Structure 1
Amino acid sequence: MRRLLLMLIIISFAVWGMTSCKPGLLPTEEAGKPKVTLDRVEVQSYFPWADLPARTPMVLGFVFNIENPSGYNIRLENFKFAISFEAAPGKDIEIAIPTYYDQLYFPPKTKNQYRVVSVLDSMTMNLTLLVAQAPKIQALNLKPADVIKNWYATIGDFKFGIKVGEGQATFSTEKGDIIVPFEGKFPRK
């Protein structure tokens, strides 16, 4: 009898524990999940090139479309992605990973734009290419200073591809948290 009573108590606690908690992360394949797409990249601010080791900033604006097809409000909690520039045709090199913690609400059945401004620096890019991305640069037989100078010289015309990869947007909803992966390229070809 005691054994049966103990089993009933354990089962009731297990059922109570599973039903009373807020659900964890919802699968991203669920219907009504938010959609994040890269709309465009804009040059927000540009400074004349100065040879390394001088620091030259480049400020880019990444404009994303965020669509909420569900019937309830969603709140953006966390937004991050990797910025990659094309160093050679078809060969992208990651140069930065911006992360933003803006808390924005998106009403049901709407599509809004979200602008992320990222300040890049020629010295930081150079260090990234010399250390973290050194194997890729060596495999392509490129010189980091020449690659960076080319990026600065041609950014106004977008003569090289800019890739947004490994993107992750975290939304909170009344039904739980949702993580939405995204990626995109600009200019579109």
Structure 2
Amino acid sequence: MRKCSLFLLMVSFALWGVSACKPGLLPTEEAGKPKVTLERVEVQSYFPWTDLPARTPLALAFVFNIHNPSGYNILLDNFKFTVSFEAAPNEYIEIATPTSYDRIYFPPETTSQYRIVSVIDSATIRLTLLVAQAPKVQALKLNPADLIKSWYTKIGDFGFGIKVSEGMAVFLTDKGDVFVPFEGKFPKK
């Protein structure tokens, strides 16, 4: 009798322990799978070009559509992506990696817009081209100073492509964390 009572007590504690814990995202559950797409890029602020090595700031706003198809609110925990400029036809060079830790709720069954503003300057781009992206710049046989000036003079009309890649948005939901990769190009051709 004692063994049976002890066994029932252990089973009831085990069931209580399992049911009291908040489960993570189970493989069979659908978290609503939010979707992130690049809507557009805007020139937020522009300054007259000054030859290098002087710094010329450039502020770009990246507007994303975030679609929440689930029936509950989702919380954006962090948002990160890499910005690349087109250096030659269909050849992109990574320039910056904006990251945002703003915590924002998105309502159920809606598409909302989320804006990230990234401020870069010509001196930082120059260092990126001379160090981190040097092999790519050399392979394309480009002059970094001429390339940067070209980007700054053409940005108003978006005379070159801008690519968002390696994007990752992390959403927190009642059913667990959801990681959403994304990428996009602007202008859309």
Report if TM-score (shorter chain) is over 0.5: yes
Q: CA shift at 1:23, angstroms?
A: 1.1
Aligned twin of 2:152: 152
1: CA distance, partners of 2:108 / 2:21: 26
- In structure 2, the gaps of 5 or more residues are 1-5
The superposition leaves residues 17-39 of structure 1 with CA deviations (integer Å, 9 ceiling, x where unpaired) of 69825416x77x94621110000
2: CA distance, partners of 1:111 / 1:100: 19
Aligned twin of 2:173: 173
2: CA distance, partners of 1:137 / 1:30: 44
The superposition leaves residues 49-97 of structure 1 with CA deviations (integer Å, 9 ceiling, x where unpaired) of 0011000000000000001000010010100000000001110000000
Change (3 A) 1:90 1:18: farther
Aligned twin of 1:20: 21
Query: 1:134-145 to 2 correspondence within 5 Å?
Result: 134-145=134-145
Q: CA shift at 1:135, angstroms?
A: 0.2
1: CA distance, partners of 2:69 / 2:40: 21
SS of 2:184 mapped into structure 1: strand
2: CA distance, partners of 1:37 / 1:18: 37
Q: CA shift at 1:173, angstroms?
A: 0.6
Query: 1:10-89 to 2 correspondence within 5 Å?
Result: 16=17, 20-23=21-24, 30=30, 32-89=32-89
Q: How many residues align?
A: 182
Q: 2:40, 2:186 within 8 Å by CA — same for their partners in 1?
A: yes
Runs of 4+ in 1 over 6 A off after TM superposition: none
Percent sequence identity over aligned pairs: 69
2: CA distance, partners of 1:59 / 1:129: 19
Cα-Cα RMSD:
2.5
2: CA distance, partners of 1:157 / 1:108: 36
1: CA distance, partners of 2:125 / 2:150: 13
2: CA distance, partners of 1:137 / 1:143: 8
Q: 2:31, 2:173 within 8 Å by CA — same for their partners in 1?
A: no
Structure of larger gyration radius: 2
